[in-house]
Every structure is written in structure tokens, then in C-alpha cells.
Amino acid sequence: MSWYPGSCRTTFTHSEEPLILPTKSGPKRAFPEICKDITPPCNLNPLLFNGHLQTAWTAVKSDGPAIHYKRRVFEAEDKAFAGHFAVDFVVALPPSAGKAAEDGGPEDQGLREDPVGVGHTKLPPRTTYFTEKKFDHLGSDDTKPLLITLHGLSGGSYEVYLRHVLAPLVEKTAEGEKLGLSGGEWEALVVNSRGCAGSKITSSILYNARATWDVRQVVKWCRQKWPKRPLYGIGYSLGANILTNYVGEEGENCLLNAAVVVSNPWKLEISSVLLQRTYVGLEIYSKTMGNNMRALFDTHKEQILKNKSLSEERISRLKYLHEFDREVQCATWGYATEGAYYRDASSADTVFAIRIPFFAIHAEDDPIAFNEAVPYEEIRQNPYTVICATSGGGHLSWFELGGGRWHAKPAVAFLNAMAREVDFSKIEPPAPKSKGPHGGHQTPFVFEPMRRKLHLRGSEQ
């Protein structure tokens, strides 16, 4: 703690036998040591002195860094999850572009209509579609690191919290200079959840808290399109839960080199119960998130209601997030209750299966992703995982004086440290934990953290 009134305590939780990472030009380093070294002191706006004020401040209009995107609509390859989803690729602002480009107008050398023919509801600012010619020529043999981003519940590529991270990585900005970065070293994209960010839903299949199928397809596509680029991931809130599950599902075969998650709710049932216990949690946070999801439903109900298990009348009366999950997610995926859905989609046990360097950023006063839901003990059991928890910051907030967002600093620094310093070709898996002086009790039972209750009919998983 410093004397600064907005100073926050910062603590790290990790394994006592951490992952040792080989570096490109120096000695090997312990993974937690790198995470601690790249994390700056957390000094927040002293006027936003608790998690509620920090979180509420996100509703105040802030333009944030101007990130420009080109969109491509992908069709799901897995027929079990049929439909389309939109991916927004970060692009540089064309030198000839004027005010129209800042507003996402035609001068930004993109298309306003989807060439794939799926369409959209309304494109976000500074976003146009790739022309077919430009999209076909995306592939290259360059070795620039590529960041794959997952946004929060009902959000999208336009969200300010993720643009604060993208800006210093992909552009030469004043923010990047403050962080000691040259800028422009990275390529990046955002995978929008189905129906989000003005994208169009084309089947009755929505996304959920464990919707890993679209990001899996994008990661595989990126590996084929750019075979020499190292791939990294970052997820926020619900996107953090999805990314954690994806990394765990892939295990040792994960195509990402490393990943960061911010404000992960981890244990969804605990977070849901705690939201319902207080007036603010229920009537402010849960109602806001419920209204956002119901608005998404209203926009796309023609397609969604092709699922005859859903009742438009009941959905129209919903007020809270858990009610939406009960009526829509349970009927869509076959869960008996929202509690069953939350338990099966949570990412806390997934921590055991992670096999890439994985850095989590969390605020202890988060009023949505509660501290009680953070799997601290699970993280201590896995040498590949480290969590940095600050005493303040709220949910996806961490506002500093001047409008900066503190979470961007450790996230950007971590990604740069992984890309610049670590030699991933030489990483060796940690030795198995000792079972005691004589080997310990050999139990016949096996705990499989990724064994889900939800699975396709006729399959074991």
C-alpha cells in the first residue's frame, strides 16, 4: 500500500511448485515471478472508492481508444452448433480516411453490407465488412503475435474495457508510450458471441457460458491462415469463463501459447445466489443483465423461437438474469434448472486441466464476479495458473484518475512478456507432485475436471 488514497492492495495466488519458463535470451524464470514483475501498483480514482462506484462508472459515456475493425461472418463447421457468428479483425485507420472513417462510414475502405449474405442488425462504430478480395488475401507467413479476444455478456468488439487493452498492442499511442511499448507489434481480433455487436442470429442456437465451439473454430482457422503466428487469448467476464473452459477442454493440445482472463465469474451458481441476496445485486445488476439478454432475444426472436421449447409469452415477462437463463438457456440446452446449467458451465474446476501459462486478473470487491466464487485453492494446485487480485476495482472497471483502466496495464504487459521473452518451444511440463515419502495412497478413483454433464446424445461426452 502506498500513501495514495486510491491505492489498492495487490496479492498473487499460485502453486508452490510453479511452472518454470525458458526465456529467449536469459535464464529460466518462474511463471509467478514474471506475473509479479509485470504487474504495476494499482492506484485507482479515489472518488470511486468501492466496487459499486467503480462498476457504475462504466455507464458514464467514455469514447476510449478508437479501434477500427473489419468484420467477417463465419458459419459454424460443427452441425451440432449450427449458425453464424461475426469476427471483427483490428485494422489500421487508412491514411486517407476522414471524419467518416471515425464514424465507421464508407471512407474507411470497407463494405457496409455483409458479402456473405447473412447481414446484421446494426454495425458498431468504426466497423465495416471485409471485401471478398481483402479477406481472401489475409494469410501471410509473418510471425507477429495474434490476440484472440472474447467480450463479456451481451457485449461486443466495441466495448471500451477491451479496447483499452487492444490499443497499446496494435497502435502507436500515447497510452502505449506510457507503458514503455513501441506499439503496433500485435495483430488482434474479437470473436463476437452470436447475436452480439450487431451480428445476426441464423439458428435457434444461442451462446451460453460454456460456448467454446465458436472460439475453437476461430483458433483453428487462425492457425491455418497464419501458421507462423503465435496465438494468445484474452477473455472478459462471461468471455473469461468461456475462454477458461476452452483452454481446459483443449488441455495439452491447446493452440494458444498463453491466455489472460479478466473479471471471470468462475462459479456461476455462487455468483447468481449472491446477486439475488441484495437489493442492489438483484434490482440493479441482475435486472440490467436480464434486460440486456431479453433485448438480444427481442432482436432475434424470429430465429430463436424456431426452438418450440421456448415461450415468447413467458420470456416477455422476465426481469432478471437468472430468470432468462431458466427460461431460455435451460430450454435451449436441455438443463433441468438454471442451477444445473450454472454448475455445468462454470470454469472453476477447469483450472485443473489448464496446460498453458494462464494469468487471471480479479478485483476482490467485484459486485458481479464475487470473490467468494474465485477458485483460489484450485489455482494453487496448478503450476500453469496465477491470479492477481486487487482489493478494489469493481467489475471490468479499475478506473484511474484521467479515465485510464488499470487492468489494461498488467494484461498488456503479460502478453508482451509472453511474446517477447518466453521460448515456448522449450517449455517442459512440471514434474508430477509427490505423493509423500513412500509414494502415498494409490486410490483407484479418478477425478476428471472436464467431464461434463451436458453432452450430445449417443456420446460419452
The domain locations on the chain are 7-58+68-91+131-267+346-426
Q: Select from 219, 175, 110, 152 the least CA-distant residue to 406.
A: 175
Contact 321, 275 (CB under 8 A): yes
Residues of the chain with pLDDT under 50: 1, 95-108, 173-183
- What is the per-residue pLDDT for 437? 55
Q: Select from 303, 300, 307 the least CA-distant residue to 328.
A: 307
Cα dihedral across residues 383, 385, 386, 387: positive or negative: negative
Burial of 410 (0-12, 13-18, 19+ CB in 10 A): buried
Q: How many C-beta atoms surround the C-beta of residue 122 within 10 A?
A: 9
- What is the per-residue pLDDT for 435? 57
- 3-state SS of the chain is CCCCCCEECEEEEECCCCCEECECCCCCEEHHHHHHHHCCCEECCCCCCCHHHHHHHHHCCCCCCCCEEEEEEEECCCHHHCCEEEEEEEECCCCCCCHHHHCCCHHHCCECCCCCCCCECCCCCCEEECCHHHHHCCCCCCCCCEEEEECCCCCCCCCHHHHHHHHHHHCCCHHHHHCCCCCCCCEEEEECCCCCCCECCCCCCCCCCCCCHHHHHHHHHHHHHCCCCCEEEEEECHHHHHHHHHHHHHHHHCCCCEEEEECCCCCHHHHHHHHHHCHHHHHHHHHHHHHHHHHHHHHHHHHHCCCCCCCHHHHHCCCCHHHHHHHHHHHHHCCCCHHHHHHHHCCCHHHHHCCCCEEEEEECCCCCCCHHHCCHHHHHHCCCEEEEEECCCCCCCCECCCCCECCHHHHHHHHHHHHHHECHHHCCCCCCCCCCCCCCCCCCCCCCCCCCCCCCCCCCC
Q: What is the pTM of this model?
A: 0.92
Return the bridge partners of 127, or none.
69
Distance CA 46, CA 419 (A): 34
- What is the per-residue pLDDT for 34? 98
Region of 27 please: left (phi>0), alpha (psi -120 to 50) or beta. Answer: beta
Residues 6+ apart with CB under 8 A from 214: 74, 76, 81, 85, 191, 193, 194, 207
Q: In the Cβ-directed half-sphere of 274, how many Cα atoms lie within 13 Å?
A: 15
**Considering all CA atoms of the chain, what is the largest pairwise distance in Å, rounded to the nearest integer?**
72
- What is the per-residue pLDDT for 171? 79
At CA 265, angle to CA 407 and CA 381, rounded to 5?
A: 90
- What is the per-residue pLDDT for 139? 86
Q: Select from 111, 68, 110 the least CA-distant residue to 90.
A: 68
Q: Which residue has the cell 479496447?
A: 163
Residues 6+ apart with CB under 8 A from 211: 193, 194, 242
Region of 266 please: left (phi>0), alpha (psi -120 to 50) or beta. Answer: left
Distance CA 275, CA 271 (A): 6
Distance CA 333, CA 328 (A): 9
One-letter amino acid of 427: I
- What is the per-residue pLDDT for 96? 46
Distance CA 170, CA 337 (A): 43
Contact 403, 377 (CB under 8 A): no
Distance CA 346, CA 338 (A): 12
Look up the CATH superfamily of 7-58+68-91+131-267+346-426.
Answer: Alpha/Beta hydrolase fold, catalytic domain (3.40.50.1820)
Distance CA 106, CA 103 (A): 9
